[in-house]
Amino acid sequence: MIAVLTGDLVDSTAMSRKDYQLAVTLMEDYITACQKRFNARGELYRGDGIQLIFCQPQHAMRGVIELKSLLFSATHTQKPIGITLSIGLGDQLIEGSKPSVSQGSAFTLSGRGLDTTPSGHVSLHHEGGDFYEALVLATQFLDHLLNSHTQMQARVLYHYLKAGFPTHSQLADVLGTSQQNVTKHLSRMGGDLIKQYLALYETKVNN
């Protein structure tokens, strides 16, 4: 089983040229980071879309949360940058030189799932059994949390995941703020719940 993450920027045609270029740069940089951290493969397509292949599918949901938080927390934009994201868990039948020319159920599930995912939201699609149905429901709760975050909370969450859940003191040093502020933001955003969700996803999807 692999995981395919497919995403589209929200209202990209209405974005300013500056904001659009920033979004593209952030997505390109994140693809590079995923290649190094997770041995994933990815590319941009159609100008405002992104696709990542995770041969280790347990890493895909971390990619969803980080990418969504990274874009939303970008500063000096006319309005926060949103993205719609869909994960497909399934097979890869044909491996092409690029994600866009690969084939398999994971790609179909991810692509079709993106078409039915509300703009700016996150969804999970699978071929599995009852456990995966429960995981889909848990992902809907995760999506609700992520779409309730402020830009500052999204920034804290991005660095919290990227640094591998450091202590609040360590995270405060990274963000240049106080430990009290970090604790406040993590508490209000449901940081512990997100950490627990990821632990469940990464353990079960890896089995």
Three-state SS sequence of 29-84: HHHHHHHHHHCCEEEEECCCEEEEEECCHHHHHHHHHHHHHHHHCCCCCCCCCCEE
**β-pairing verdict for 2-9 and 49-54:** antiparallel
What pLDDT sits at residue 130? 76
Tell me, what DSSP letter sits at residue 93? S
Other residues' Cβ atoms within 10 Å of the Cβ of residue 38: 19
Q: Given the DSSP bridges, would you call strands 49-54 and 41-45 parallel, antiparallel or unpaired?
A: antiparallel
CA dist 106 and 85 (Å) reads 14
- The residues of the chain scoring below 70 in pLDDT are 92-103, 207
Residue 121: which domain range?
A: 2-205
Torsion of CA 61, 134, 81, 102, to 10 degrees: 50
pLDDT at 34: 95
| Confidence (pLDDT) at 104 | 82
- Per-residue confidence (pLDDT) for residue 96, from 0 to 100: 56
**pTM of the predicted model, to two decimals?**
0.93
In this prediction, residue 198 carries a pLDDT of: 96
- 207 DSSP assignment: -
Q: Following DSSP, what letter does each residue of 189-204 receive, concatenated?
A: HTHHHHHHHHHHHHHH
If one counts the domains in the chain, the total is: 1
> What is the CATH number for 47?
3.30.70.1230
- The pLDDT score that the predictor gives to residue 176 is 94
